[in-house]
Amino acid sequence: MTTGPRRDGALARLAPERTLRRLELQVTRRLDGLLNGEHLGLLPGPGTELAEARVYQPGEDDVRHMDWAVTARTTTPHVRDLVVDHELEAWALVDLTPSMDFGTAAMVKRDLAVAALAAVGFLTVRLGDRVGAYLQHPGGLRRWPARTGRAAFYALLQAVLDARTEPGTGPPAAMSGTTATSGAPHGDLAAAITSLARGQTRRGLRVVISDFLPPAPTGRPGTTDDPDAPPDWESPLRRLAARHQVLAVEVIDPRELDLPDIGLVEMTDPETGAAHEIVLSRRTRQRYAEAARAQRTRTRDALRRCGAHHLVLRTDRDWIADVARFALRQRRAAGRAFTTAGVRP
């Protein structure tokens, strides 16, 4: 099913800097400190992690780092070394295949993917860290280097908004600063996750934004078209989650869950361009809804087995409220209190 070409109004609503800054304020006020774990500063000081205690060296050590408990026990002055952590690198894998241009509600799935990327990215940039992205286009995978600052992140969001998703096309030439990567053919989410894991080994936050829809059955020898089989992206995602904190953002549209009672309709596969005329009878709509529920259950179970956090965003709902509820559930599950000066979720 297709919805026609993208409307200029959608880009006008999301792309201008004023709109993105308003979105940034909403995300910061409602989500600050919930998606990202507390991590250490670049310089020694309050909030850095304490390491081993050692004997105090007069003239070399700072008396503010004195460990008074060890000093009292040993009667010898001791200081506590500080372990300085580096800045966090957050990397996102954004699915920009043609199925992400589908949408029948307030926005298409591509716009919701941009919103999800902004929700994570603006918080990370706000902390002075770096955000990079792998953009999965129909023509292959493109890497957007990890950079600091809001200007670089605005450029990344604009690149996602402007990217073309017609089958057989690659990233637009305007995406300056990106580099091509190998090993991720058209629509292959598993290969894209593998490329992300191999290309970025430094521990940090990894976000996978996709609709997680399985490819159409091919019928080719050696391929598995069993709908009950685990998704092919499960194994590489499990390996990714073994080293990094992984957040999987599943983007869905209500028409992907059930079909309206409108009789004869022409449906087009956005990935292949194949069109079929289908009568949406009661039996057809019921079977479609059952298959959609089964597919979402398999996706949810696979993400749980991988150990990834799972966030579902719908094009017909308030995405900020959904992310806020998700973050609060994660906080409660971890049993951590949330206190931020002047900021409340």
Domain assignment of residue 165, yes or no: yes
Residue 91 forms beta bridges with which residues?
132, 206
Contacts 24+ apart (CB under 8 A), 61-67: none
- The 8-class DSSP code of residue 145 comes to E
**Is the domain of 129 the same as that of 184?**
yes
Structure tokens at 101: 């241009």
Rg (CA), the chain: 23
* 226 and 315 co-located in one domain: yes
Tokens of 142: 């493109």
Q: Which residue has the higher pLDDT, 38 or 154?
A: 154
Quote the CA–CA distance of 217 and 225 in Å, as a whole number: 5
Tell me how far apart the alpha carbons of residues 111 and 108 are, in angstroms, rounded to a whole number.
Answer: 6
**Residues ≥6 apart with Cβ < 8 Å to 253:** 102, 103, 104, 105, 108, 109, 314, 315, 316
Instruction: State whether residue 56 is helix, strand or coil.
Output: coil
Total-model pTM? 0.72
Residue 42 covered by a domain = no
Q: Let me know whether 269 and 285 are in one domain.
A: yes
Are 66 and 133 found together in one domain? no
pLDDT score, position 55: 87
Q: Tell whether 41 is covered by a domain.
A: no
Residues 114 and 212 in one domain: yes
Residue 254 has pLDDT above 70, yes or no: yes
**Residues in Cβ contact with 334 at an 8 Å cutoff, skipping those fewer than 6 apart:** none
Q: Does 25 lie in the same domain as 73?
A: no
Extract the tokens encoding 2. Answer: 């297709």
Give strand pairing partners of 247. 207, 309
Question: How many domains is the chain partitioned into structurally?
Answer: 2
Domain range for 76? 50-83
Question: Does 341 map to a domain?
Answer: no
Sheet-wide strand order for 205-210: 179-181, 140-147, 130-137, 89-95, 205-210, 245-252, 309-314
125-178 confidence digits (pLDDT tens): 666 678 899 999 887 888 888 888 878 888 888 888 877 655 444 433 334 455
Co-location of 127 and 186 in the same domain: yes
Is there a single domain that holds both residue 126 and residue 56? no
- Within-domain flag for 125: yes
Are 254 and 267 part of one and the same domain?
yes
Kindly report the CATH number assigned to the domain that includes residue 157.
Answer: 3.40.50.410
> In terms of domains, do 105 and 217 share one?
yes
pLDDT score recorded for residue 42 = 40
The answer to whether position 274 is within a domain reads yes
Q: pLDDT-based confidence at 11, cuts 50/70/90? A: very low
Cα–Cα distance, 16 to 254 (Å, whole number): 27
One domain, residues 140 and 248: yes
Strands (E), the chain: 49-55, 78-83, 89-95, 130-137, 140-147, 179-181, 205-210, 245-252, 263-268, 275-280, 309-314
202-230: pLDDT as tens digits: 888 899 999 998 876 554 444 455 666 78
Pair (118, 187) in one structural domain: yes
User: What are the tens digits of pLDDT across the range 63-108?
Assistant: 888 889 989 999 999 988 765 455 677 899 999 988 888 888 888 8
Question: Which pairing describes strands 275-280 and 263-268: parallel, antiparallel, or unpaired?
Answer: antiparallel
Question: What pLDDT is stored for residue 192 in this prediction?
Answer: 93
Q: Does an H or E element contain 75, and which?
A: none
